[in-house]
Structure 1
Amino acid sequence: MGHSYSSRVVWTGNRGEGTAGYRAYDRTWDIAVPGKPVMHCSNDPLLGGDPAKMNPEDLLLSALSACHMLWYLHYASDAGIVVTGYEDSPDAVGEVGKGGAGRFVSATLRPRITVRAGTDIEAATEIHHRIHEVCFIARSVNFPISYDPAFVLED
């Protein structure tokens, strides 16, 4: 069974001369998904992009983290583990090869998960290792993903 997704990406960086020269245009665009707010994006700041806007690398890392979170919450619920808070501060390492081609070489998710007092932390930790088998985004990338969870017990 297939799922389909659609998006509209519109370049907004034409300063009037198009791509007449490498520095003649901005690396900005809008993402427009039907029925959702438009997201204004830019290139990675290391490549001259606007640091105040999301870039493709931000979006990929955020999608990976969000997918992991949603599956974690699902599996925790199935296991009777009550999660009352979840936040993640993931990071990724990229490299740029010859000719300027870049890629992610690894990502680490660092979720901080609040659970009810008395939770079996070992069981709560083990869930992370099952998610890569089912997370749509994690299964779609070609770099290793590691997990460094921290748990907070709710009073």
Structure 2
Amino acid sequence: MKHHAYSSNIRWTGNTGEGTAHYRAYTRDWEVAVPGKPVIECSNDPLLGGNKGLMNPEDMLLSALAGCHMLWYLHLASEAGIVVTAYEDDPEGTGELAPDGAARFVGVTLRPRITVKPGADLARAEAIHHEIHKVCFIARSVNFPVQIAAEIAVEG
């Protein structure tokens, strides 16, 4: 079994001068920095006092899941001789908030819209989606159901 190592730096940038002296004394803004890559400015979910103009952990998890699915789809389609010319997704996640304030994702639906070259095996193009969760790093790491509602169109 091969192991991969990942690292990043998470830095809170929301100290407005009082630190966390009280709940409204600070912002929920923070940064993700990975060596050699652009810094991503982030915040908390706006429902929890975050900046709605910045990415939040939920946005990033949903995007990571959809991005991983897309990259594996492109790889497996290429191996199957299916030429993909466009791929776009509008994933949606559903979360729940418990009375004690604890929250979690309870499900995600990926909604990829894929365009393939004429002559592609459309049954195989559809079947690839159901193979991805066996290999996608992110999908194999989450503990909630991920549904696929894909649309596949032929170019032209």
TM over 0.5: yes
Match of 1:32 in 2: 33
CA distance in 2: counterparts of 1:129 and 1:102, whole angstroms = 28
Find the residue that maps to 2:125 and give its secondary structure. Answer: helix
Q: What's the counterpart of residue 140 of structure 2?
A: 139
Matches within 5 A, 1:111-130: 111-130=112-131
Residues in 1 aligned to 2:5 and 2:140: alpha-carbon distance in whole angstroms: 16
- Match of residue 104 from structure 1: 105
Map 1:1-40 onto structure 2 (within 5 A). Answer: 1-40=2-41
Corresponding pairs, count: 155
Q: Which amino acid aligns with 2:18?
A: E
| Cα shift at 1:74 | 0.6
What SS class does the counterpart of residue 119 from structure 2 fall into? coil
- 1:75 is paired with a residue whose SS is helix
- Residue 39 of structure 1, CA deviation: 0.5
For the residues of structure 2 that align with 1:27 and 1:66, how far apart are their CA atoms?
A: 25
Is there any run of 5+ residues in structure 1 with no aligned partner, and where? none
TM-score, normalised via structure 2 length: 0.98
1:76-99 CA distance string (max 9 Å, x none): 011000001101100000000121
Q: Look up the match of 1:94.
A: 95
Q: RMSD between aligned alpha carbons? A: 0.6
Q: State the distance in 2 between where 1:122 and 1:45 align.
A: 41
Q: Equivalents in 2 of 1:24, 1:12: separation in Å?
A: 13
**When the two structures are superposed, what TM-score results if normalisation uses the length of structure 1?**
0.98
Gapped regions of structure 2 (runs ≥ 5): none
Residue identity opposite 1:43 in structure 2: N
Displacement of 1:47 in angstroms is 1.0
Residue type at the aligned position of 2:112: P
Identity of aligned residues (%): 65
Deviations 1:39-93 (A, max 9, x none): 1001001112111100000000000000000100111011000001101100000
Partner of 1:98: helix, strand, or coil? coil
